[in-house]
Amino acid sequence: MGEKNLDYTSITDYLAFEEKSEFKHEFRDGEIVAMAGGTINHSTLSGNIHSAINTRTDTRGCRTFNSDLKVYFEKLEEFCYPDTYVVCGDLETSEYDKNSITNPILIVEVLSPSTEAYDRGEKFRKYRSIPSFKEYVLITADKICVETFYKQDEKSWIINTYLKSDEIIQLRSVDLEIPMSEVYRNVKFEL
């Protein structure tokens, strides 16, 4: 993510700042954190996975969102912008911001060198504080690699790694399959 650049201690201050800002910021540990710009691969992968999930879940009572809409961690009083996420059933929103969702079931992040450690570590721990959260998907932007983490029970997760373009990704939380070739469509890797 970006650098920690503004120190605020209240959610109200953050939301007022974010509403007027040209750029997106997350709210972590009482600080406003600027979001880093993306790459062509990151944007392509985000769009591909969002489209793939959205077209397969729209008749199942689920809604797919992109990084324009925040997720609120109620227990932590923090906000973030996942690349893609899914809510099944009724939408639940933050008491502070009606446009911040609190009940995602599936969250997808596209990894970049500057965000990978955070996305795999601290951010994943934060996502696990959301009671509805059941599945996490990490997509690598500089090579073919998708990892899924499915919540088996309160203490264990099933991890699957997909490394070939002809494999089919299994998303258990929403009971669907997505070909790797669809996720990596139009993605070019540097040699």
| Full set of structural domains in the chain with CATH | 39-183 (3.90.1570.10)
CB count in 10 Å sphere of residue 102: 18
- CA-to-CA dists, residue 45 to 58, 83, 137, 140, 189, angstroms: 20, 9, 12, 9, 12
pLDDT in the model for residue 4: 43
pLDDT in the model for residue 53: 97
Enter the pTM of the model.
0.88
**141, two tokens:** 């932007």
Write the pLDDT tens digit of every residue in 48-82.
Answer: 999 999 999 977 899 999 999 999 999 988 889 99
Q: Say if CB 29 and CB 86 are below 8 A apart.
A: no
DSSP assignment letter at 163: -
pLDDT grade for 1, boundaries at 50, 70 and 90: very low
* Residue 103 in this model has a pLDDT that exceeds 60: yes
Q: Say if CB 43 and CB 185 are below 8 A apart.
A: no
Residue type, 159: I
- Tell me the longest C-alpha to C-alpha distance in the chain: 48
- Count of positions (residues) in the chain: 191
The larger pLDDT score, comparing residue 74 to residue 15, is at 74
